[in-house]
Amino acid sequence: MEMRLLLSLLLAGLVSTVAALSAQGSKLLVVLEDESEKSRYSQFWTDLEDRGFQLTYRTPKDPQLSLFRHGEPAYSHLLLLPPGKGTKGLGPNLTPNLLVDFISAGSNVLMALSGEQSIPSAVSSLLLEFDISLPPDRNSMVVDHFNYDSSSAKESHDVLLLPGKNAGGSKKGVADILSVDGILALPHAVGAVLGNASPLLNSIIKAPATAYTYNPKEEQEGVEDVFATGDQLSLVTAFQARNSARFTLLGSVEALQDAWFDTTVQHSAPGSKSEQAANRAFAQKLTGWTFKELGVVKAGPVTHFLNEGSQQNTSDLTTLSDINPSIYRINTEVHYTIELSTWSVDHWVPFTPPASDAVQLEFSMLSPFHRLNLAPTTTPANPNASLFTATFTLPDQHGIFNFFVEYRRPYLTNIEEKRTVTVRHFAHDEYPRSFVIMAAYPWITGIWTTVAGFVGFCALWLYSRPEKERVELKVKEAGGR
């Protein structure tokens, strides 16, 4: 046991030195159409390499390109740049099937599209696997005549400017992971419509209310049949699978290019000033999220114990004699603790849920009997995790129950921790005795009165003396006759 622990510690140490940043791994495969394209993203590559990723560049036609080796994913992460003009798809090594298998195996994918190029049907069908629909036009672009960069797209209005603080949705109870200060420039973006049914899909950046898609190749002067408008269009989309693998669709690949990292942009609204685009910061956050540097939550040990008698309100769990018992009795008070930590750059730190959100514990048999918000606390004894605790009374129902923490939230990896315990009913000698129940006193008194009466009767039977001498009944009777 100790040997194994030592080994795993050693292994963990090794892994942590190799993976400097991502909680998952550092091997990143970049698929791009040709080598000449690579130079346009030099700052982006440098940023990734500085953060500890090992980049491998391949073209879709490269015979060496394979997502799997010996049936296991050969890379932790995949970055797909849009396939070039004239290609039908991503090639035989990147079919939608293989990419879905790659994600099912737990690897992460960042896919970038461009409105400048036509989108192959292979990409559309891959996206449909995630319930993301692209416009039926293979050439489509989002324009907004109200929020464009007037310094670079004065006429064409196809460089969208959006506030970076809305990235990741400023919804209540959702972790704010992707927002950046400043303004984002998304040139020639492809907008997608997200299916409503899946909780796995989230729009990181929606198009402004006045935006719409159109086909720039079409000669028509006005749009009359529009695919989607306004914030129905998602420009950057996040998909997190049930195994916490991440897939991100970036509608505008040009936003990652050097040209848009340092450029100054000016909003089309009159009176607005030129400012530096925040694309570089956003690209870091977006790749950070996709490649599991951000929003990674891990569950540590789970403890539960009977919070009664000598164990009541124990803060030092090591002193407990009976930890994580397999059986409890109904109506007893139980203390539950789970450790959660989140990945921060290169180590684990205590996890705190976003405002107005809570980690919840369900105590359930088929359906939850209790669903409680857990209170986070940190202890100096464990600086890498926060303890989420609850103390509650077990239901008055015996059976097989689960302590179940299921924490699934947008942009955070999934936590699912289940501990099964038996809850038994009272044993025959655990009920309160009759002498502590006031209502039982008439009955108790009845029994002991009877006992006293019996003893008295026995004494009377044994020792009573007739008061008068017995008269001869026979004689009297005879005399009477």
Stretch that binds other proteins, among 74-82, 115-123, 157-165, 306-314 (CB under 8 A): 157-165
Q: How far is the CB of 222 from other proteins (least distance, A)?
A: 5
Q: How far is the CB of 281 from other proteins (least distance, A)?
A: 18
Q: Tell me if 229 contacts other proteins by CB under 8 A.
A: yes
Q: Tell me if 399 contacts other proteins by CB under 8 A.
A: no
Kindly give, in sequence order, each residue whose CB lies less than 8 Å from that of residue 255, ignoring residues fewer than 6 positions away.
Answer: 184, 185, 186, 187, 189, 279, 282, 283
Q: Tell me if 241 contacts other proteins by CB under 8 A.
A: no
Q: Tell me if 145 contacts other proteins by CB under 8 A.
A: yes
One residue of 73, 163, 251, 300 binding other proteins per CB under 8 A: 163
Q: Tell me if 332 contacts other proteins by CB under 8 A.
A: no
Q: Tell me if 426 contacts other proteins by CB under 8 A.
A: no
Q: Tell me if 215 contacts other proteins by CB under 8 A.
A: no
C-alpha closest to that of 338 among 371, 361, 316: 361
Task: Give yes or no for a contact between 132 and 191, defined as CB atoms under 8 angstroms apart.
Answer: no
Given the complex with other proteins, which of 26 and 279 has the nearer CB atom?
Answer: 279
One residue of 358, 365, 378, 398 binding other proteins per CB under 8 A: 358
One residue of 409, 413, 421, 423 binding other proteins per CB under 8 A: 409
Given the complex with other proteins, which of 10 and 455 has the nearer CB atom?
Answer: 455
Q: Tell me if 274 contacts other proteins by CB under 8 A.
A: no
Phi, then psi, of 405 in degrees rounded to 5: -110, 115
Produce one character per residue of 22-36: b if its CB has 16 or more CB atoms within 10 Å, e if not.
bbbbbbbbbbbbeee
Stretch that binds other proteins, among 58-66, 184-192, 267-275, 295-303 (CB under 8 A): 267-275
Q: Tell me if 196 contacts other proteins by CB under 8 A.
A: yes
Kindly give, in sequence order, each residue whose CB lies less than 8 Å from that of residue 67, ignoring residues fewer than 6 positions away.
Answer: 29, 73, 74, 75, 78, 93, 94, 98, 99, 101, 102, 107
Q: Tell me if 458 contacts other proteins by CB under 8 A.
A: yes
Task: Give the CA-trace dihedral at 313, 315, 320, 322, to 10 degrees.
Answer: 60
Output the CA–CA distances (angstroms, integers) from residue 480 to 333, 411, 474, in the order listed.
85, 117, 10
The SS3 of residue 439 is: helix
Q: Tell me if 456 contacts other proteins by CB under 8 A.
A: yes
Q: Length of the chain in residues, anyone?
A: 481
The SS3 of residue 325 is: coil
* Span 278-307, contacts to other proteins by CB under 8 A: none
* Span 71-100, contacts to other proteins by CB under 8 A: none
* Span 9-38, contacts to other proteins by CB under 8 A: none
Q: Tell me if 116 contacts other proteins by CB under 8 A.
A: no
Q: Tell me if 208 contacts other proteins by CB under 8 A.
A: yes
Task: Give the CA-trace dihedral at 402, 405, 406, 410, to 10 degrees.
Answer: 170
Q: Tell me if 425 contacts other proteins by CB under 8 A.
A: no
* Alpha-carbon span 190 to 168, nearest angstrom: 18
Q: Tell me if 39 contacts other proteins by CB under 8 A.
A: no
* Span 125-144, contacts to other proteins by CB under 8 A: 143
Q: Tell me if 206 contacts other proteins by CB under 8 A.
A: yes
Given the complex with other proteins, which of 13 and 443 has the nearer CB atom?
Answer: 443
The SS3 of residue 195 is: coil
Q: For residue 9, what are its two tokens?
A: 């510690």
One residue of 39, 332, 420, 445 binding other proteins per CB under 8 A: 445
E strand residue ranges, 60-158: 68-69, 72-73, 77-80, 108-112, 132-133, 141-143
Q: Tell me if 369 contacts other proteins by CB under 8 A.
A: yes
Given the complex with other proteins, which of 120 and 230 has the nearer CB atom?
Answer: 230
Q: How far is the CB of 349 from other proteins (least distance, A)?
A: 22
